[in-house]
Amino acid sequence: MSDLEKKQQIARENGRKSHGPITPEGKKRSSLNGITHGLASKCVVLAIESQEAYDGLLSAYRAEWHPASLTESNLVTAMVNSYWRLCRIWSMETALFDSETFTEKEAFEAAWSNHHPAMRAMDAMASVDYMAPGTLDILQRYEVRYEGLYRSSRINS
């Protein structure tokens, strides 16, 4: 039996022993397992976001597109949901790079005499990619996903 097969066998045995969380705290924590970044959540407006801002955006889109049927109304809602999530992704990217830029400011300035904004942004991006591998890939994957949904909703409306 190979090392991989042994690890798989152990994982299967451990999986059979587990019956999930038992305490109310464990169950609540487990229910949030799928919510890591809010980019694929069933809830469009996260608790930290403004429901009023979302409602205003939806109203503005409805006023612009004048949906005349349930299907058109659903397409407008899909468009707004996609755009709302795109804005979240853009905000997350901005916050990620701003945070990293401020965190690594002294090290960057000590290492480089060129303080060009593009150079600083690249340094922040490289640092994020090193410290949290896959984060930028996740953001890009969801950005492409929601951009496609947004565009396809607009085409169909």
Name which of 40, 60, 27 is nearest 139 in CA terms.
Answer: 40
Q: Return d(Cα 6, Cα 8) in angstroms, integer.
A: 5
Q: What is the pLDDT of residues 88-129, one digit of tens each?
A: 999 999 999 888 888 887 887 888 877 788 888 888 888 888
CB neighbour class for 72 (10 Å; exposed up to 12, middle 13-18, buried from 19): middle
21 has pLDDT over 80? no
- Domain positions in the chain: 1-33, 38-156
Sign of CA dihedral 148, 89, 40, 75: negative
What is the overall mean pLDDT for the chain? Answer: 85
Percent of all residues in the chain with a pLDDT value above 90, rounded to a whole number: 45
Flag whether the pTM goes above 0.75: no
